Amino acid sequence: MHLPVIFKVLSLLSAIVSLSMVLPLGWSLWDGSSDGKAFLLSISAGLIFSAVLFMAGKNADYNDIGVKDGFLVVSLSWIFASLIGALPFYISGTIPTFAGAFFESASGFTTTGASVLSDIEAVPRGILFWRSLTHWLGGMGIIVLSLAILPFLGVGGMELFKAEVPGPIPEKITPRIQQTALYLWGVYAFLTVAETVLLLLGGMNLFESLTHTFGTVATGGFSPLNRSVGQYGSAYFDWIITVFMFLSGINFVLHYRLLRGHFRPLARDDEFRTYLWIVLFCIAVISADLLFRGNYDSIAEALRYSAFQVVSIITTTGFATADFELWPSFTQLILLLLMFAGACAGSTGGGMKILRLLILSRHTRAELKRVLHPHAVISVKVGGKVIDTRIQSSVTSFLILYVAVFIAGVFFMTSLGMDMESAMSGVAASLGNVGPGLGSLGPMDNYSAVPEAGKWLFSLLMLMGRLELYTVLLLFFPGTWRK
């Protein structure tokens, strides 16, 4: 454990989060609303905190970072960001309890999109802008985390990306992270600008275009409107957002290649193809179910609403244009399963990720073959490359952990007296960073009625899901702290 390095990284991070509050401060000054003071206070508090951490870490040498430090830095980064990010909500009095404010902030930085606000439109625009900005900042962190950091920490099969990511072949990890981050953030910025412009062209105002775009490209789901994207009732907005949610669920390395004119890697990518296939299949099945049961009359409407909801859930965004709780139970069950599936690895989406599902399914298929041919050597391949047994076993233990954490979460929530459907969907939605669930936590409800202890647990689940379980779980693993 090298505490100075950890302090130094956290100091930098706290400073970035605090300074980002200048943007919402701008909105609130422009609007002349009362939340300006809350931002000034939060910025000062955050910067003081950052300075203290800087002092504590002034002797740091970045070359010291070991595996354990990596886990610690990653987990603490999201926790500290959420703590500082919660200040404006709490100080401005928008959210009365700190548990609620932390929940909202953690939901933002983990790009979950679960909210405790009941009347969103009554909240000043500065606060709402900050709420959406936490998504955008969180999304930037996630891309770097999943493509530049986790592959080296070897978490749940992410090692696979070691060779894939653009950037110099690493001797030292730090310069590589910087390079990779710049390439990928370029893609991220490009997607953001493109969506904002398209929404503006459709007649959305700048504030709403920006906040919805932040929610989309980060696959977050916070909307400044009470009825989310559904409020517009506009097919144009629905389809634009559907397309950008879908794009944000694709591995950013593929986007990077595509922007540089290489179309082949995308077309040949096993994971992308599976993702596309699952999305199309679910849209078809759900539209058919909705038409058949008479929820919609026209094919165009059924397709539009099912496409939006399917893409919103599988990319773990959580925007809604329809109250899918009124949809048939078959459709709801599919949506619940999509919360577990999640989007592609290396995107801002959450959940278990398609790549892992692909490895798990090939692993199982190989096992069935092995029963028939006990002496044959059968290898598991994804994208033409052999997945070695070490990665397979790291992915299977990821699945088991995911299920175990889900079970523990539901146990806890039902013990607090929550009903089964809400508890199961709420835990799945938090762990998968989706946002809305079913039952009392549906797309037209919110998390304000969840007891304090439940809000803390949901926040923890969002963090665990976001940091691919291992990172957070290792903090509780006795071996981590042993010398």
Q: Looking at the DSSP assignment, which residues form a beta bridge with residue 444?
A: none
Please identify, among the stretches 19-27, 124-132, 150-158, 188-196, the one whose residues bind another protein according to the rule CB under 8 A.
150-158
Q: Which of residues 432-471 bind another protein (CB under 8 A)?
A: 470
The total of other beta-carbon atoms located within 10 Å of residue 162's CB is 12
Residues 63, 23: contact at Cβ < 8 Å? no
Select from 58, 262, 369, 385 the one that contacts another protein (CB under 8 A): 369
Q: Which of 62, 258, 307 has the alpha carbon at shortest distance from 174?
A: 62
Which one of residues 148, 153, 245, 278 is an interface residue with another protein (CB under 8 A)?
Answer: 153
| DSSP state letters, 386-417 | EEPHHHHHHHHHHHHHHHHHHHHHHHHHHHTT
> Shortest distance, CB of residue 410 to another protein, whole angstroms?
6
> Binding to another protein (CB under 8 A): which residues in 244-273?
none
Contact stretch for another protein (CB under 8 A) within 26-34, 117-125, 230-238, 400-408 = 400-408
By CB under 8 A, residue 94 contacts another protein: no
Interface with another protein, residue 394, by CB under 8 A: yes
Q: Closest Cα partner for 363 from 331, 333, 399?
A: 399
Query: Should residue 1 be labelled a site residue for another protein when binding is judged by CB under 8 A?
Result: no
Output the smallest distance, CB 63 to another protein, in A.
Answer: 18
Rounded to 5°, the CA angle 292-295-296 comes to 90
Q: Which stretch binds another protein (CB under 8 A): 79-87, 96-104, 256-264, 397-405?
A: 397-405
| 32, 261, 294, 374: which one binds another protein (CB under 8 A) | 374
Q: Is residue 414 a contact point for another protein (CB under 8 A)?
A: yes
For another protein, the binding residues in 314-333 under the rule CB under 8 A are 328-330, 332-333
Which of the ranges 128-136, 202-210, 409-417, 428-436 carries the binding residues for another protein, by CB under 8 A? 409-417
Q: Residue 380's closest CA among 354, 399, 356, 397?
A: 356
> Rounded CA gap, 68 and 221, in Å?
32
Interface residue with another protein, options 371, 376, 384, 483 (CB under 8 A): 371
Whole-number minimum distance, CB 394 to another protein, in Å?
Answer: 6
Indicate which single residue of 1, 22, 29, 67 sits in contact with another protein (rule: CB under 8 A).
Answer: 67
Q: How many of the other CB atoms lie within 10 Å of CB of 376?
A: 9
417 part of the interface to another protein, by CB under 8 A? yes
Q: Can residue 118 be called a binding residue for another protein (CB under 8 A)? A: no
Identify the residue among 401, 444, 448, 475 touching another protein (CB under 8 A).
Answer: 401
Read off φ and ψ for residue 141, nearest 5 degrees. -60, -40
DSSP, collapsed to helix, strand or coil, labels residue 385 as strand
Where do runs of H (alpha helix) occur along 232-298? 235-248, 252-259, 264-268, 270-292
Whole-angstrom Cα distance, residue 345 to residue 211? 24
Kindly indicate which of the ranges 89-97, 182-190, 255-263, 403-411 contains the residues binding another protein, using the contact rule CB under 8 A.
403-411
Residue 380 phi, psi (nearest 5)? -100, 125
Q: Is 173 in the site for another protein (CB under 8 A)?
A: no
Kindly state whether residue 479 participates in binding another protein, applying the rule CB under 8 A: yes
Phi-psi region of 353 (alpha: psi -120 to 50; beta: other; left: phi over 0): left
Residue type, 348: T
Q: Tell me the backbone φ, ψ of residue 328, rounded to 5 degrees.
A: -60, 155
Q: Is residue 294 a contact point for another protein (CB under 8 A)?
A: no
Stated as kind and residue range, the H or E segment containing 228 is none
Residue 68 in the binding site for another protein (CB under 8 A): yes
Among 16, 45, 276, 473, binds another protein (CB under 8 A): 473
End-to-end CA distance of the chain: 9
State the Cα–Cα distance between residues 316 and 3, nearest whole angstrom: 34
Q: Which stretch binds another protein (CB under 8 A): 111-119, 263-271, 304-312, 370-378?
A: 370-378
386 binds another protein (CB under 8 A): no
Number of H helices, E strands in the chain: 21, 2
SS3 label, residue 380: strand
Q: Does 277 bind another protein (CB under 8 A)?
A: no
Phi and psi dihedrals of 253, rounded to 5? Answer: -65, -40
Choose the stretch contacting another protein; rule: CB under 8 A; options: 88-96, 216-224, 258-266, 394-402.
394-402
| By the rule CB under 8 A, 69 interacts with another protein | no
Tell me which residues touch another protein (CB under 8 A).
67-68, 153-155, 289, 328-330, 332-334, 337, 360-361, 363-364, 366-372, 374, 389, 392-394, 396-401, 403-404, 407, 410-411, 414-415, 417-421, 423, 470, 473-474, 477, 479-480
